[in-house]
Amino acid sequence: MENASVSDDGVLSSLRYLFADLIGEDDDAPPFLPEGLPTTVAPTASDAIHMLIDYQSTGYAQLYVDRLGRFVGRHGVDDALLGEIARLMAMRMSYQDPIRIAQLKLAEITDAAGHVHYQSGRDVRKFRLDELISALPAVIAEYVLDTLEWMGWLHKPVSISFSATNRLGVRRLKLEAWLRRWRRYSVRYTKERVWVERWLHMIDRSLVKQPQAASAIVQTATMIEGYGDPYRQGIADWHAIIDGLAKPTFDGALALPDLAADIAEARATAMPDPRQAALKRKIGEIRARVPAGVNAAV
């Protein structure tokens, strides 16, 4: 049985952020960098804090700081590894939903003086219907998703325009960007928080069980990016590798002395295949190389 997916500090920081959200308290002042943060990592973390404030709120940026602080001064975490945790965690905490894409488009067409410059080209992105609905508050989305599943429309592709060719297009982008305050109540938001915590938990377990593999675990965050089918493929592949190789190694159920190399080998076979045939076959081959009856040291 896997340990709890978040540490005590992670639970407390998540609860503080959620409580601040629910009662509407969110300090306007940017949070401080974690105490003891190396100077080489400070610029990355500082940029991430300001980005996450724009993405969601100061409370959300504080959650980032609390999460990062769990690895500051940690044995086995040098400046380079901490810098990658800081960089990739910011990337994953700013996942691309329609709200974020609208935010980025507005930033792209707005100059330093606040003037909007229309663009001539069209910008149309393709999502799955369940992906769009998952961006809605859970109290609404769950019923809609159940209905769509019953109708067989969950995976129906939908094209959304993010064009800024005229005033109407810009107004639509501003409305979509404004919906960021709803993001924290969405189905997708909840799932992303759970995923980030599990990623951090796996880093933590690697530092304890197999420190030389910690960097490879950190880098698995790069498997998940974008939106639509590539995003969902990345999520599925990530779970396959973690559940098939990393977790059983940390649990002592699988003896993989070089987990980092095994993760790299598995990642090299991942393809845009919903069935994950090549990846699952490779994970099976790696597991089969372990002699029968040999368990990893706990």
Q: For residue 260, with 0-12 CB atoms within 10 Å meaning exposed, 13-18 middle and 19 or more buried, which class applies?
A: middle
- The pLDDT mean for the chain works out to 89
Amino acid at site 58: T
pLDDT tens, 270-291? Answer: 999 999 999 999 999 999 998 7
Angle at 276 between CA 270 and CA 280, to 5 degrees: 85
pTM: 0.85
What is the spatial distance between Cα 217 and Cα 199, in angstroms, rounded to a whole number? 8
Q: For residue 153, with 0-12 CB atoms within 10 Å meaning exposed, 13-18 middle and 19 or more buried, which class applies?
A: middle
pLDDT tens, 103-127? Answer: 999 999 998 888 999 898 889 999 9
Predicted pLDDT of residue 177: 93
What is the spatial distance between Cα 181 and Cα 160, in angstroms, rounded to a whole number? 20
